Each structure stands twice: as C-alpha cells, then as structure tokens.
Copies of this chain bind each other. A is one copy, B any other.
Amino acid sequence: MSSERERTYHHGDLRRAILTAALDVIATEGPAALSLRDLARRAGVSHAAPAHHFKDRTGLLTAVAAEGYALFADALAGAPDLRERGVAYVRFAATHPAHFQVMFQPDLHRADDPDLLAARARATEALRSGVADLPPAGRGEDDRLAGVAAWSLAHGFATLLLTGNLADAMAGRDPEEAFRSLAALVFAPESGGGG
C-alpha cells in the first residue's frame, strides 16, 4: 500500500520507472532482451507510454548511456590519483553493469545525442585529467601512449570482469582490490610496490 498503484491517469514518474526497469533487465539478461512493451507492462502502463519519454528503443538506450556517462564522470572525479581512478573505473563497471554495457556498445545508442555528448565530454575530461598524474615519460608521444595504456588496462579489466572471463582468475577475490594490486604491479614494478 505504500505506493497506491493506479494512482490516476498519470504515472507520476514513468520515465524513471522505465529507466530503472530497463537497467534491471539489461543487467540480468543483456541489452538484447530489452523490450519496450515488457517495460511498459512492468510499470503498469500502456504499451505506447514509453515512447512518449524516449521516442523509441534506441532513444531509451541513448538515455541509459547518457545517464551512465554522467554517473561515470562523477565516479571518476571522486578519485584522488591515477590508480584510484582506475579502481573507480572498475568499480563503476561492477556497480553499474547495465550502464557500462550500453555506454560502450555504439550500435545500441545514438552517439550524436546532445545529452550523451555532454555527459561523455565530462567523463572524458575526468579521465584525461587523471592521466596527467602519470610519471613523466619525457616525450609527449609516450605520454599519450601511457594514457591509452592506463585506459586500456582499466577498461579491459572491467570488460573481462563483466563478461565473466575473470571468474576463475579472481575466484571470490574482490575485483577492486585485485585491480589495485594489478595496477601497482604494472605501473610501478620497481618502486617497491607500496601504496
């Protein structure tokens, strides 16, 4: 009774309800299993209601991606140094698997959406500013490469984690902690390995 269902004609917060339901489906069954009509059913509205908020299926996924990039930017901004930013990267993927999947599958969303672009720009900025912490490599070309390397490491780890490819390698270990030691191993092998 906490949430009298058939409130009135209007749902109240259908957009959020659809988004939340979509995230649930994507996280458990993957983006392919997403159906607008199913989401409408879950929200207790008619089959055409979602279209008003998201235009079409791609529109919904675009909204998911945009929200994902916004949350991603916040998560990255909170990290103090490069390594913790990598940890935040992995944590975000583990905590928001649905967002992460849609964000990095360009064929699912409209990459030219203004909201998405803005959020993505924020996330990119948070990522770039972290690379500045890297030990200076002398040449600017190496700096760029080192940035791509850091990004690749975090992104690869996160992706493999979400696809279940690290299940046996991790074996009940905390992924974040594993990535922390891994990053230490890779980026400062001679510095004593300390924090």
Kindly supply a per-residue 1/0 record for chain A positions 91-109, scoring 1 wherever the CB is within 8 Å of any chain B CB and 0 otherwise: 0000000000000111110
Question: Contact: B149 with A185, CB < 8 Å?
Answer: yes
Name the CB-closest residue of B to A158. Answer: B156
Number of copies: 2
Chain B residues with CB below 8 A from A157, complex form: 148, 152, 156
Tell me the complex Cα distance, A148–B148, Å.
18
Q: Is A12 an interface residue (CB 8 A)?
A: no
Which among A144, A155, A163, A185 has the highest number of chain B CB atoms within 10 Å?
A: A155
Number of chain A residues whose Cβ lies closer than 8 Å to a Cβ of chain B: 41
Return the contact of A182 from the options B29, B107, B149, B182 (Cβ within 8 A): B149
Tell me the complex Cα distance, A166–B157, Å.
17
Chain B residues with CB below 8 A from A147, complex form: 169
Mostly, the A contact residues are helix
Q: Whole-angstrom distance from the CB of A171 to the nearest CB of chain B?
A: 10
Q: Whole-angstrom distance from the CB of A135 to the nearest CB of chain B?
A: 9
Name the CB-closest residue of B to A146. Answer: B185
Name the CB-closest residue of B to A154. Answer: B156
Chain B residues with CB below 8 A from A105, complex form: 30, 163
Name the CB-closest residue of B to A28. Answer: B107
Kindly supply a per-residue 1/0 record for chain A positions 120-146, scoring 1 wherever the CB is within 8 Å of any chain B CB and 0 otherwise: 000000000000000001000010111
